[in-house]
Structure 1
């Protein structure tokens, strides 16, 4: 998911360089949303891993 956020960020930067304001704004907005979703999923994953703990392999 972080890869998608990075891809939309690059699209936004390229569009901004060529002067496509609407496309750059939309791509930047999508990149922000995907990045924050990634952060939320990361925190949930870390908390779930801490609660479960690691079991030693036998």
Structure 2
């Protein structure tokens, strides 16, 4: 999950540098969603692992 987030962030940076604003915004929003899902799953697995 974290690998997909990093991929979309890199895609957003490259698209932003090349001037593709719509694609960059879309990739950045996908990266944000995946990052928050990753954080939530990490916290859940951390809590369950301590039990």
Is the shorter-chain TM-score for this pair beyond 0.5, marking a shared fold?
Answer: yes
Whose relative contact order is higher, 1 or 2, with alpha carbons under 8 Å and at least 6 apart? Answer: 2
Higher radius of gyration, 1 or 2: 1
Structure 1 equivalent of residue 38 of structure 2: 38
Q: Size of the alignment, in residue pairs?
A: 51
RMSD of aligned C-alpha atoms? 0.4
Query: Structure 1 or 2: larger helix share?
Result: 2
> Which runs of no fewer than 5 residues in structure 1 stay unpaired?
52-58
Runs of 4+ in 1 over 2 A off after TM superposition: none
TM-score (norm 2): 0.98
> Which runs of no fewer than 5 residues in structure 2 stay unpaired?
none
TM-score (norm 1): 0.86
